[in-house]
Amino acid sequence: MDKKIGERDSAVPCRPNEPAWRSALAEKLATGAGNPGGELLDAAVQDASAYLRLVAEADDGPKRAAKRFPATAAVYCLHGDAEAAGKLKILSVAPCGLRQIATQMRLDPSVVDAWRRLFFDLPRRPHPGWVDDHVVVPEENAGNHQLAAQLRLAAAVGPVAAVAILVAPHRVPLKEGATLFKLKCSTHARETEAVLGVMSTFAGNFKSVSANLKRQQRVRREERCLAERCNKILQRAELARFRREVSADRANRRAEKTKAKQEERELWSEGNQRMREFKRLPAWRRYVLEQEAAEARAAASPLAQLRWAEPNFGQHDKSHGTER
């Protein structure tokens, strides 16, 4: 039976939940396997699908695709770098702002925005359970356990933890971050149950609300403690960077001073060598060289450059006679 115009493909959900749903949809369109509704085909999906079709056409497909879609090619090249993509995920899940991410990664904000739209499209305020199901667990299933732990810490604490992970990845409290993230997930699940009215009796609802309040206080307290620890890590890293810069500057100045002294010693050595060679010469030869040096000094003096005009006495007398 043929599809009606505007009918969705059953393989494409009405509201995609996966962060990389645009790139997955573009791959399906490039291979002809997807036929979604028109509202899902935004500019990012269309450009990505056209880029992938050009890449798969021939041997020179990647060059032609990069020439026709340079922005999309840059995004796919960025996503191909696993380390850079992991850092972008950590900063995005915190969540950090677009300009902050671009500054930390030293990228253009338009490239970061295009990457997020195509490969890491998160809801405006994702709850911890959604982040765990759609971001952290896929990384663990792929074997990226270190990245999964870093994502938990960034999602649990916020931007300060994300920046600390990038600056000092071996000093951040990953275990404590994972504990806090699990606590946030359970707290959100309990709150959802209370809102949906799972507890039927009033006493049960009161106990549930009281327990959730205590759990929220614990979450805020641990989040504040971890944020302070991450902030101290950033301060220590900044101090270490400043000390490295001062040490490097001191080493450069010491090297320049050593080089100047070495050049001065070489000049002195060269002058002494010339003086010894000069003393070995016969007396008449030394006298000739001294006379030549004196004449050269006299010719190079400022007085030698002066030119005196010859007086014209006849012209002077004639002018005086005319005046008389």
**Which of 154, 173, 180 is closest to 94 using CA atoms?**
154
Determine the length of the chain. 324
How many Å apart are CA 183 and CA 224, to the nearest integer?
14
Q: Output the pLDDT for position 3.
A: 37
Q: 127 and 186 in contact (C-beta within 8 Å)?
A: no
Token pair listed for 246: 């001062």
Distance of CA 48 to the CA centre of its chain: 24
| Residue position matching structure tokens 């006495």 | 313
In the chain, which residue ranges form alpha helices assigned H by DSSP?
A: 21-31, 43-55, 61-68, 70-80, 82-93, 98-105, 109-119, 128-131, 137-141, 145-157, 159-167, 174-196, 202-280, 283-300, 313-323
pLDDT of residue 277: 83
Can you tell me the distance from the alpha carbon of 223 to that of 177, in angstroms, rounded to the nearest whole number? 9
Write down the pLDDT at residue 7.
Answer: 38
Q: How far apart are CA 88 and CA 125, in angstroms?
A: 17
| Rounded CA Rg of the chain | 39
Burial environment of residue 156 by CB neighbours within 10 A (0 to 12, 13 to 18, 19 or more): buried
Cα distance between residue 72 and residue 279, in whole Å:
77
- What does the pLDDT read at residue 152? 95
- Tell me if 233 sits within 8 A of 161, measured CB to CB: no
| Tokens coding 17 | 């939940």
What per-residue confidence (pLDDT) applies to 40? 65
Per residue of the chain (324 residues), what is the pLDDT tens digit? 333 333 334 444 434 678 988 888 888 888 876 665 555 678 888 889 889 988 888 778 888 888 889 999 999 999 999 999 999 999 999 989 999 999 999 999 999 999 999 999 998 888 889 999 999 999 999 999 999 999 999 999 999 999 999 999 999 999 999 999 999 988 888 777 666 655 455 555 666 667 778 888 888 999 999 999 999 999 999 999 999 999 999 999 999 999 999 999 999 998 888 888 878 888 888 888 888 888 888 888 777 677 666 666 555 555 455 444
Q: According to the model, what pLDDT value does residue 5 have?
A: 30
What DSSP line would sit under 300-324, residue for residue?
HSGGGG--PPPP-HHHHHHHHHHH-
Please state the φ and ψ torsions of residue 127, each to the nearest 5 degrees.
-80, 160
What's residue 261's pLDDT? 92
Q: How many other C-beta atoms lie within 10 A of the C-beta of residue 140? A: 15
Q: Whole-model pTM above 0.75?
A: no
Before 19, cis peptide (omega within 30)? no
